[in-house]
């Protein structure tokens, strides 16, 4: 009787222990804490909080797709060249560069033209006038009729002008005889410019009047005498038998020796 009771208990206890071993164990569900709200905030639902956590997870977020566009497909044809623009403002002057290398020696030039036979390092003249002269025009050129010295013919007797062939320093002098009761007013000219004045007031006595100066002349300059007329009659006196009007000039120092 005792044996049968023990056997029955064994039969009853074996299936129950086996059944417990065959069933899978479930771990207890862990509830995550969800922040509800602060004292001054509105309640947040559990669903929206869970959606926020899932969207912030990089594993569960949807990858972004960035499309690429081939620009060469959209490129049009080359346009026409536009008009030339206005030049810009000039820039600042740059620093001076280094000196360059010496160039090659050039070829020997051709011989120059033959020099003028009158181009000597001497020049001198002395001319006079035997006839008296009254100024009938506003300006009147004084012409000389007597030649005392005219070295290399630098003084032109027809024009009454000295022509400079040799550049340098020259000395000039002019001597005239005044006329009674008439004014004497002359200019010593260099080209078309008045250099000095020879002047004498009207008087009952005629006198000899003179003027002189030095000039630095260049080749081609001309020196001559001009008579000037104002309100009163202007005149210089001379006679056929005597020479009262003298014009002199000579080279003192040539520019190139």
List per-residue pLDDT tens for the chain, 257 residues long: 555 555 555 555 545 444 444 445 555 555 555 555 555 555 555 555 554 555 555 555 556 667 776 666 666 778 888 888 888 887 788 888 888 888 887 777 767 655 555 555 889 999 999 998 888 777 889 999 999 999 999 999 999 999 999 999 999 999 998 888 888 889 999 999 999 999 888 878 888 889 999 999 999 999 999 988 777 778 888 888 889 999 999 999 999 86
Write the CATH number for 181.
2.60.120.40
Residue 136 lies in a domain: yes
Q: Which letter does DSSP use for residue 160 in this model?
A: T
Q: Name residue, tokens 């912030």.
A: 56
Residue 173 lies in a domain: yes
Measured distance CA(21)–CA(2) in Å, rounded:
29
CA distance linking residue 194 with residue 192, whole number of Å: 7
Q: Which H or E run contains 17?
A: helix 2-22
Q: What is the phi/psi pair of residue 73, to 5°?
A: -70, -35
For position 221, what pLDDT does the model report? 96
Q: What range defines the domain where residue 196 resides?
A: 127-254
- Check residue 70 and give its pLDDT: 67
Query: What is the token pair recorded at 230?
Result: 């104002």
Say how many domains are in the chain.
Answer: 1
Residue 78 makes CB contacts below 8 A (sequence gap 6+) with none
149 assigned to some structural domain: yes
CA 120/CA 79 separation, integer angstroms: 75
Q: What is the per-residue pLDDT for 32?
A: 55
In-domain check, residue 247: yes
Beta bridge partners of 214: 171
The dihedrals phi and psi of 232, each to the nearest 5 degrees, come to: -95, 165
Q: Confirm whether 11 is domain-assigned.
A: no
Q: Is residue 195 part of a domain?
A: yes
Residue 4, in any domain of the structure? no
Residue 62 lies in a domain: no
Q: Supply the pTM of this predicted model.
A: 0.53
């Amino acid at each position: 009787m005792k044996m049968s009771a023990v056997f029955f208990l064994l039969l009853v206890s074996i299936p129950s222990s086996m059944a417990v071993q065959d069933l899978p164990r479930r771990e207890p569900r862990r509830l995550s804490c969800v922040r509800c709200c602060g004292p001054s905030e509105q309640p947040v639902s559990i669903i929206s909080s869970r959606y926020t956590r899932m969207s912030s997870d990089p594993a569960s977020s949807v990858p972004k797709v960035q499309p690429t566009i081939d620009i060469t497909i959209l490129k049009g044809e080359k346009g026409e060249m536009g008009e030339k623009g206005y030049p810009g403002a000039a820039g600042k002057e740059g620093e001076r560069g280094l000196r360059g290398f010496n160039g090659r020696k050039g070829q020997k030039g051709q011989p120059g033209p033959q020099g003028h036979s009158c181009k000597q390092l001497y020049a001198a003249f002395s001319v006079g006038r035997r006839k008296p002269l009254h100024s009938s025009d506003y300006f009147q050129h004084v012409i000389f009729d007597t030649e005392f010295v005219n070295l290399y013919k630098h003084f032109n007797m027809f024009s009454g002008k000295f022509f400079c062939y040799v550049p340098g320093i020259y000395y000039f002098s002019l001597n005239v005889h005044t006329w009674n009761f008439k004014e004497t007013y002359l200019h010593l000219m260099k080209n078309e410019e008045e250099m000095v004045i020879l002047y004498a007031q009207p008087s009952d006595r005629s006198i000899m009047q003179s003027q002189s100066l030095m000039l630095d002349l260049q080749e081609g300059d001309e020196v001559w005498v001009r008579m000037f007329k104002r309100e009163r009659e202007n005149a210089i006196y001379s006679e056929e038998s005597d020479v009262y009007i003298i014009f002199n000039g000579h080279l003192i120092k040539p520019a190139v020796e």
